[in-house]
Structure 1
Amino acid sequence: MNMIRKKRMFSKIFGLLLSLLLLSVLTAQVIFAADVFGSDKHIKIGLDCENCHETAKVDAGAEVGMAKCLSCHGPYERLAKRTEKMSRNPHANPHYGDLDCNECHHGHSADKNYCASCHRK
């Protein structure tokens, strides 16, 4: 009888600890997502996850398709016009045509200068 009680107690404690661990992981993901997106310029203008991602349940690092970016930011030609005063216009380059937005822009993190991978100052 004593052994059965110990097993039940162990099972209850193990279940409780496992539940707490799962809750901690889920809470950390929500806090991290809110922190990352909270400083993003998209949320500052009133957008939420579903405006860019098809669903709010997005895997970490999931890219947004180029068509979705261009549906708000306009066609590539308009982007080239907006950035024409840059020393090297990234939206009007002779190498790639319409380069995928995700090559330079990563949504919730700093942009990457894709051109600089070959062109040095």
Structure 2
Amino acid sequence: MKNFFIFVVIILALLSIDHESIKKPRDELFAMFSDKMSESTQLQKDKLAKKVNAEIKAKLKLKEKERIHLDENTQTDEKVRAFHKRYCTDRDLNQFFYGDKLRQVCLIMTTEIAAHN
């Protein structure tokens, strides 16, 4: 019990001391933890985007520029839905996906969006 109490006192001291040699590494550590927590919640939040991206890459043979375009447009669920509306529903022209590839991309997106709702 005594060791635990000493450990708690040391941790509290490290958290409350504002000396530059302690403050800078502590702030960097907090920033690293907050970035990691932010990334993990973002991954949980955008399950649709992650699933659509993986499904399209697994089913279609993509060129490098197509893969980059796909990654940009499947970063978030909102971007997936916007892409689907613009290119699949409204049938706007896409410079990277057209013809059969666009139909396959739209089919995958439609299926995953329906399953996600």
Q: Structure 2 length as normaliser, TM-score?
A: 0.39
Q: Structure 1 length as normaliser, TM-score?
A: 0.38
Identify the structure with the greater helix proportion: 2
1 or 2 for the larger relative contact order (CA 8 Å, sep ≥6)? Answer: 2
